[in-house]
Structure 1
Amino acid sequence: MYIGELAKLSGTSAKAIRHYENLGLLGQVERQGVYRIYDLQDVQVVQWIKQAQSLGFRLNELVAAFQKDADGQLNWQEMNRQIEFKRSAICQEIAHLQSLEARLTAMHIEIDECISGAPLAAEPTPDQAKFYAFCAEAQST
């Protein structure tokens, strides 16, 4: 099949397919004269590339995984390694976001205490003590 049909079947553009080919994601593409010739496996590969992008992969992260071996098979072990690496990065980002959320909650509570004039914590941290002093000064002006 030609590039137009591959684009239609895979739901992408011919320009994107040429870009994937230039990056090496489609391996060695057969040609008849100036025309690129694709097969059904190329449709699947382009769909996988699009799916990987939708999951947060950058194209340069996929190059090693989408290299075909001498038998025309994809590097499944590398694909799995990239997936595990991405999952680990996501877990780290989740932990970071949870930490930010906890800090925002603590800040919200401190502001509510400042507004309400609630007594300070028995042993405020140095940052809390500075913040409470700031609140007291701001309320007195």
Structure 2
Amino acid sequence: MYIGELARLTGATPKALRHYETLGLLKGVRRAGVYRRYTQQDLAQVTLIRQAQSLGFRLAELLPILAGDDTDWAALRRHVADKRAQLHQEIARLQRLDAQLQSIDTEIIDCLQRA
């Protein structure tokens, strides 16, 4: 498949796909003349990259895991665990913020009832 079809199937722009290739996240992209030819494996790789990005991973975090000859699944699991820990911390922070807002709202209701 050509770059336009890969872009359509993955939601990535052609510019992003060329960037992934430059970074080494897409390896061994074949050419047909001046056109890039992508495989089903490239489709799976871009899908994984896009999914990781949507979950908050930066390309710089993905490079050491996905840019080698084989995906380092153990390293990817560690990164996922780290992201989950960060997410849990953020959830706890937001819950504390919500509790503070609830407290302020309760105080406002008390003031309105006294008025």
TM-score for both structures, normalised by structure 1 = 0.67
How many residues align structurally?
Answer: 115
Counterpart in the other structure of 1:17: 17
Counterpart in the other structure of 1:120: none
> CA RMSD of the aligned region, Å?
2.3
Counterpart in the other structure of 1:29: 29
Percent of residue pairs identical: 50
Relative to its length, the structure with more helix (as a share) is: 2
Counterpart in the other structure of 1:134: none
Counterpart in the other structure of 2:53: 53
Q: Deviations over 1:8-67 (max 9, x none)?
A: 443433222002112322134344664434322111000111111222222222222212
Q: Flag structure 2 segments of 5+ consecutive residues without an equivalent.
A: none
Specify the structure having the higher radius of gyration (Cα): 1
Counterpart in the other structure of 1:110: 107
Counterpart in the other structure of 2:91: 94
Distance in 1, matches of 2:92 and 2:24, equals 35
Counterpart in the other structure of 1:75: 72
TM-score for both structures, normalised by structure 2 = 0.80
Distance in 1, matches of 2:27 and 2:64, equals 11
